[in-house]
Structure 1
Amino acid sequence: MLYSRLTASQKRRAFRAALNSGRLQRMPGAFSPLVAMAIARRGFEGVYISGGALAADLGLPDIGLTTLSEVAARSAATARMVDLPTLVDADTGFGEPLNAARTVQVMEEAGVSGCHFEDQENPKRCGHLDGTTLVPVPTAVRRIAAAVAARRDPDFIIGARTDAKAHGGIKAVVERAKAYADAGADLLFPEALADAEEFEAVRAAVDIPILANMTEFGKSTLLTVDQLRDLGVNVVIYPVTMLRVAMGAITRALESIDETGTQADLVDDMQHRHRLYELLGYSDYTTFDTDVFDTGGRQ
């Protein structure tokens, strides 16, 4: 009831242990705390907070327009609702290496379990679109090193994303992956890899856990959980899947109401009120409130 009963430190320790457990951690993207609660209820291992999904939910394109305070506020609201670890997309760190250092401490205070930084220049772009530009390797390394140095909780996960695939192929990805691991990154996020063979190459190159982004309509083949597990991938994210499914349903619902003049044809596809109340824990709130009133509220 109310918020997670686990502390941020407990969730971080669990996440770090899970990354090194040899078990694939599935982290669907949550664009709201309610979606995170549904992810937890279904039994997934973690929650991902996508910068692209968050920007879209604010009505903005994913080009670095969201601010640290906006991302931190949404991340805090999401993390406190679930016992699962939360991994946050921190874009390029919202500025220079010193900004990346501050970002880590703000995210620690938000209660999330980790965040990752990418090696693009500002303004960043979705890694599955053309036109990305990268900062030089030394600049990216300073960004990661600053984040690592600023970390106060040693269990807070710092990830490094590289968009080098479009700027030199898998060889460039491997070179940057090794540099970021040497800088202290706990998790490597090679963006926009094409297929299983490319994941194999990255897995062979670094010893730290790696993350696979199984986003739709992008440059990556949508591999299954079993395939990713066999490749030695440690985390898989589905960053915008829930938002895309929701917006597809919303668009169809609006069309139906506009065309028919009623939502009657949509009722069978809706989450029933009782299922929503169950997810929200309405009865727990009622019981708590009644118990408090009976034991402490009466004279």
Structure 2
Amino acid sequence: MSEDHRARMRALINAPGAAVVPGVPDAITGRVAEQMGFPAIYLSGAGFANAQLGVPDLGLVTLTEIAAQTERFREAVGIPIVVDADTGFGGPLNVRRTVRMLEQRGASAIQLEDQLFPKRCGHFEGKQVVPTGEMIARISAAVDARTDDDLVVIGRTDARATDGLQAAIDRARLYKEAGADVLFVEAPESRDEIVQVAEALPGPLLLNVVEGGKTPMLPADELGKIGYSLVLYANSAMRGAVRGAQIVLASLQENGCTEEVLGSMLSWPERQALVGKPAFDALEARYHVITGEMP
């Protein structure tokens, strides 16, 4: 039986225009994104590596770590979650296990890429891609493994950097034929290339925007007109949070207190509301009453 968040993910990729999907580094930021009205959130492998492990995006994250984070996000939000599963953590049999595990933990969409393991950030130099047939096998295994037909499979190619734009387009077309629901050509390097991808490939399409990376930033409404359905800003919130931490900690170090930066921080009531403390208080009171009535 389809879960509602997956049905909503399906509706999102088929809706007119381009939906902006922010990456979030943790559950509380996911809740902020949900409360602000974003239609979905993204669990970025790079963001997890940076924020949770303090390492670069070089294939160091494991399936069990991503699965646990997916479960945390699902407990915190009701909106769809797009999960970055990197290369699928191995061959086709590993991909099957990856999809089953992430689906069970609450993923709404799972992104798989055609890099050689260990992968690298899509905007790093030195990437390598596997043979096309190997990625087709990954996509086929993912489609076969899902138990909910509404689980969205995103096929990503990094071949723009290794073999050129046309090779990336050719690969993506084959990934669609293998069953990918959404196509993702990583790191086009100009507006013209963004347009070429959209003109050459069937939708739905995803574009990943990395501030300071290879792909130019275009407004979401323009990308929707070009032909994209999803626009990822995978690590904007994480980078903003780190800058905020630097500002607060610098003030604390300089002044010995945080009075100067209180306006840049969540207030105490805002913090407790965001994590749902009033609801927990109500539950605690309920169970206290029950306990008090027992002989």
TM-score bracket, normalised by the shorter chain, equals over 0.9
Structure 2: distance between partners of 1:203 and 1:298: 65
* Amino acid in structure 2 at the alignment position of 1:131: G
Cα distance in 2, alignment partners of residues 90 and 206 from structure 1: 23
- What is the aligned counterpart of 1:255 among 238, 250, 268? 250
1:38 aligns to 2:32 (yes or no) = yes
- Offset of residue 292 of structure 1: 4.8
Matched, 1:103 2:94: no
Counterpart Cα distance in 1 of 2:160 and 2:189 = 9
Match of 1:67 among 62, 68, 71: 62
Q: Which of 235, 248, 271 is matched with 1:276 structurally?
A: 271
Is the CA contact 2:71–2:106 (under 8 Å) kept in the aligned structure 1? Answer: yes
Once residues 211 and 121 of structure 2 are traced to their aligned partners in structure 1, the CA distance between those partners, rounded to angstroms, is 12
How much does 1:8 deviate? Answer: 7.5
Tell me, yes or no, if the aligned pair for 2:186 and 2:208 is still in contact at 8 Å.
Answer: yes
The structural deviation recorded for 1:281 is 2.2
- Aligned partners of 1:61 and 1:167: how far apart in 2? 21
Contact 1:144/1:180 (<8 A) preserved: yes
**Structure 1 residue aligned with 2:200, among 191, 200, 205?**
205
2:151 is equivalent to residue 156 of structure 1: yes
Q: Which residue of 2 aligns with 1:3?
A: none
Matched residue, 2:21: 27
User: Which ranges of structure 2 fall in alignment gaps of 5 or more residues?
Assistant: none
List aligned pairs for 1:175-190, cutoff 5 A: 175-190=170-185
Q: Cα distance, 1:41 vs. partner? A: 0.4
Q: Displacement, 1:125?
A: 0.5
2 CA distance for matches of 1:282 and 1:168? 52
Residue 215 of structure 1: which of 210, 219, 231 is its match? 210
Larger mean CA deviation between 279-288 and 96-105 belongs to 279-288
CA-to-aligned-CA distance 1:118-172 (integer Å, 9 cap, x gap): 1110111111111101111111111111111111111111111111111232211
Partner of 1:17: 11
Native 8 Å contact 2:17 2:225 kept in 1: no
Q: Is the Cα contact below 8 Å between 1:148 and 1:185 reproduced in 2?
A: yes
- Structure 2 length normalisation: TM-score? 0.94
Residue 43 (structure 2) pairs with residue 49 (structure 1): yes
Cα pair 1:190 1:212 within 8 Å, conserved = yes
Gaps of 5+ in 1: 1-6
Corresponding residue to 1:265 among 237, 247, 260: 260
Root-mean-square deviation (Å) = 1.7
Q: Give secondary structure in 2 for the equivalent of 1:160.
A: strand
Instruction: Provide the residue aligned with 1:298 in structure 2.
Output: 293
- Any idea what SS the aligned residue of 1:128 has? coil
Give the whole-Å Cα distance in 1 for the aligned partners of 2:200 and 2:293. Answer: 66
Contact 1:181 1:208 in 2 (8 A): no
Preserved contact between residue 82 and residue 109 of structure 2 (Cα < 8 Å) = yes
C-alpha contact (below 8 Å) 1:8/1:112 kept by paired residues: no
Q: 1:286, CA displacement in angstroms?
A: 2.1
Matched, 1:147 2:142: yes
SS in 1 for 2:133: helix
Matched, 1:246 2:244: no
Equivalent residues of 1:8, 1:113 under 8 A apart? no
Q: Does 1:165 align with 2:160?
A: yes
1:4 is aligned to none
Query: How many pairs are equivalent?
Result: 293
Q: Identity rate of aligned residues, in percent?
A: 36
Q: Deviations over 1:33-84 (max 9, x none)?
A: 1010000000000010000010112122211111100010011101221110
The one-letter amino acid paired with 1:282 is K
| Contact 1:196/1:231, CA 8 A, preserved across alignment | no
Distance 2:143 2:2 in 1: 18
**The residue matched to 2:272 in structure 1 has which SS?**
helix
Q: Distance in 2 between matches of 1:172 and 1:247?
A: 37
C-alpha distance in 2 between matches for 1:8 and 1:277:
33
What is the CA-CA distance between 1:193 and the residue it aligns to? 1.2
Letter in 2 for 1:160: G
Deviation at 1:285, TM superposition (A): 2.3
**How many angstroms does 1:17 deviate by?**
1.6
